């Protein structure tokens, strides 16, 4: 990432998200979830923790789509991250689990060059 301006929801890359320090990632104005090839949550930023009401201790190391965000375990989100090795897509979505329906924008990021896949959540 060359500048702080590159850290926008639309411009940030998977490589930026994986390599940035925790302080910068936690200060982003949108949720960041990093998921490994086995589906386990490896990155969960402070913004997402506060907005979702789930502390990192309740999310990190768990299967994101089966234990944390079951409402995203569908063909529009989870299946795309599994099936598409190169992915950069913004998807309108409605969060429904443990909350009243909340419209959001999701950005799905995957790259063959990166070990983690990302779901960004903009409320």
Query: Looking at domain 4-122, what is its CATH homologous superfamily?
Result: PAS domain (3.30.450.20)
User: In angstroms, rounded to a whole number, what is the distance separating the alpha carbons of residues 101 and 38?
Assistant: 28
| pTM listed for this prediction | 0.93
Domain locations in the chain as residue ranges: 4-122
Q: What is the DSSP letter of 39?
A: S
- pLDDT tens by residue, 3-43: 555 689 999 999 999 999 999 999 999 999 999 999 999 99
Specify which residues 100 forms β-bridges with.
Answer: none
The DSSP bridge partners found for residue 109 are: 88, 118
Confidence of residue 102 (pLDDT cuts 50, 70, 90): very high
Dist CA 123 CA 105 (whole Å): 7
């Amino acid at each position: 990432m060359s500048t702080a301006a590159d850290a926008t929801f639309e411009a940030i890359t998977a490589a930026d998200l994986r390599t940035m320090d925790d302080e910068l990632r936690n200060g982003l104005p949108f949720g960041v979830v990093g998921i490994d090839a086995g589906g386990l949550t490896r990155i969960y930023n402070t913004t997402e923790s506060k907005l979702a009401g789930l502390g990192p201790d309740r999310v990190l190391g768990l299967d994101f789509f089966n234990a944390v965000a079951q409402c995203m375990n569908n063909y529009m989100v989870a299946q795309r991250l599994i099936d598409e090795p190169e992915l950069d897509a913004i998807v309108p979505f409605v969060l429904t689990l443990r909350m009243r329906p909340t419209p959001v924008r999701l950005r799905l990021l995957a790259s063959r060059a990166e070990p983690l896949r990302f779901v960004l959540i903009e409320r």
